[in-house]
């Protein structure tokens, strides 16, 4: 069997074996005062089952770097392929859905942030004409907060993470909880930068009214990847407006987070994956070779 084919099967097999049990762990929506902290907690919790899969994948990629192509070690092809098939179906489904979000026609949203690496705010001039200056400013601050944190990319990645945890039904619910907290965090960040909660609530309600006849996915129900909208999930509209009309809890600066911290966390993850990849390159065969031989002899 070709090295890359076996590598793919092993990543799917071992990754799935690690991830699926972790997806069963109990998950509670974080109960903390700051939605920014809660959003971060929910984000990490959504990724918790997926991270070990990335570590396993990096280790196997390290192993493959020093493995001859095709693989010369004897192993039972049927056993490896058969055991991988259920996880392969999940990975294929998640990948196709992620690609579909990228390729489909963009949903017509009256105000949203689009673009993964260089996000930009899109504002329908017809909607802008129905809003006063304060509401336009508040809506733009909300979207700029989405752009600063590259939320379109994060939403796309989060949906992929949730899809990898399919078929467990609560994975999608966790994704929705995170999306809701994300909107609250961006609302508070906009207000921390001077936007009025009342103006933002007015903009959100006006957008909901304007988008009433839009396609279902425009309301962020499913799937949400590819853009970060002002509206978010329309089903949570009442609670969101109630939050916006209440005073901002704590000092304004407490609701802002430097995107540099996100870059630091990503750099740390990449260093970890690089170290695991080196480990796999140096000692991967000591573990994998006996496993492959075991499938041959079993």
Tell me which residues touch Zn ion (CB under 5 A). Answer: 183
- Structure tokens given for 181: 């907290």
- The CA distances from residue 39 to 32, 44, 121, in Å, are 10, 9, 22
Q: Is 77 or 209 the residue whose CB approaches Zn ion more closely?
A: 209
The least CB distance from residue 151 to Zn ion, in Å, is 7
Q: What single-letter DSSP state applies at residue 120?
A: E
Q: Is 139 or 277 the residue whose CB approaches Zn ion more closely?
A: 139
- Count, residues in the chain: 298
The least CB distance from residue 145 to Zn ion, in Å, is 8
Q: Is 163 or 183 the residue whose CB approaches Zn ion more closely?
A: 183
Q: Is 94 or 179 the residue whose CB approaches Zn ion more closely?
A: 179
Q: Is 39 or 183 the residue whose CB approaches Zn ion more closely?
A: 183
- Structure tokens given for 279: 């480990």
The least CB distance from residue 232 to Zn ion, in Å, is 5
**Residues in a beta bridge with 227:** 114
The least CB distance from residue 142 to Zn ion, in Å, is 6
Nearest-CA neighbor of 239 among 172, 170, 187? 187
What value, to the nearest 5°, has the Cα angle with vertex 117 and ends 99 and 41?
80
Q: Is 155 or 171 the residue whose CB approaches Zn ion more closely?
A: 155
The least CB distance from residue 183 to Zn ion, in Å, is 5
Q: Is 183 or 189 the residue whose CB approaches Zn ion more closely?
A: 183
> Taking CB positions, which residue lies at the least distance from Zn ion?
183
The least CB distance from residue 234 to Zn ion, in Å, is 12
The least CB distance from residue 143 to Zn ion, in Å, is 7
Nearest-CA neighbor of 82 among 286, 294, 295, 297? 295
Q: Is 67 or 183 the residue whose CB approaches Zn ion more closely?
A: 183
The least CB distance from residue 182 to Zn ion, in Å, is 7
């Amino acid at each position: 069997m070709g090295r890359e084919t076996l590598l793919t099967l092993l990543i799917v097999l071992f990754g799935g074996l690690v991830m699926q049990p972790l997806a069963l762990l109990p998950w509670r929506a974080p109960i903390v005062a700051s939605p920014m902290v809660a959003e971060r907690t929910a984000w990490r919790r959504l990724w918790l089952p997926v991270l070990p899969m990335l570590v396993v994948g990096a280790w196997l990629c390290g192993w493959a770097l020093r493995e001859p192509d095709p693989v010369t070690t004897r192993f039972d092809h049927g056993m490896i392929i058969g055991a991988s098939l259920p996880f392969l179906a999940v990975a294929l489904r998640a990948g196709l859905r992620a690609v579909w979000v990228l390729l489909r026609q963009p949903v017509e949203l009256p105000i949203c942030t689009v673009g993964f690496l260089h996000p930009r705010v899109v504002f329908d001039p017809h909607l802008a004409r129905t809003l006063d200056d304060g509401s336009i400013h508040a809506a733009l601050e909300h979207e700029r907060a989405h752009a600063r944190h590259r939320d379109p990319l994060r939403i796309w990645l989060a949906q992929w993470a949730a899809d990898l945890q399919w078929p467990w039904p609560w994975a999608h619910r966790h994704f929705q909880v995170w999306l809701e907290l994300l909107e609250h965090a961006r609302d508070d960040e906009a207000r921390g930068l001077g936007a009025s909660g009342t103006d933002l609530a007015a903009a959100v309600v006006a957008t909901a009214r304007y988008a009433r006849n839009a396609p279902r996915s425009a309301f962020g129900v499913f799937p949400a990847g590819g853009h970060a909208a002002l509206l978010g999930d329309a089903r949570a509209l009442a609670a969101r407006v109630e939050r916006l009309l209440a005073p901002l809890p704590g000092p304004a600066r407490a609701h802002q987070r430097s995107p540099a911290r996100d870059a630091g966390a990503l750099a740390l993850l990449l260093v970890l994956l690089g170290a695991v990849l080196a480990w796999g390159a140096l000692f991967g065969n000591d573990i994998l070779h006996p496993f492959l031989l075991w499938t041959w002899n079993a």
